[in-house]
Amino acid sequence: MKRILAALLLAAMAMCVLCACASPEEQIVGTWKRQDAVLGVVTETRYTFNEDGTGTRSGIIGTDFSYTIDGDKLILTAKVFGIDTGTETYSYKISGKKLSMTRDGETLELEKAD
């Protein structure tokens, strides 16, 4: 029984180490969401980051974007009809299933959706 528990513990630790080795680009891929309530109306915002450096932001207004990661900076370039319309630079941090994006002193907390 002790050997089984030790093997399970070792396997769990190995999985944690392997997950921690993923690059920032690999960690951010997927859909992240947040819900807000304004005047009793609940809205959901979703950011989807694709492997190819593109993504979408959906919510009240949806946009496409491209993104790059430079150290602890996440740089989003919004696109409307395929034309770049502006760049937003965030400090970001991923901790488990939480993504924090900070810009101009405001932090957006998102949770992994998939």
- pLDDT at res. 5: 46
pTM for the structure as a whole? 0.74
Which residues does the chain have with pLDDT short of 70? 1-21
**Whether domain 24-112 has CATH 3.40.50.2300:** no
Under 8 Å between Cβ of 52 and 58: no
- pLDDT at res. 89: 97
Domain boundaries, the chain: 24-112
- pLDDT at res. 62: 86
- pLDDT at res. 111: 97
Buried b (16+ CB within 10 A) or exposed e, 11-37: eeeeeeeeeeeeeeeeebbbbbbbeee
Query: What string of DSSP letters covers 48-91?
Result: EE-TTSEEEEESSS-EEEEEEEETTEEEEEEEETTEEEEEEEEE
- pLDDT at res. 87: 95
- pLDDT at res. 78: 93
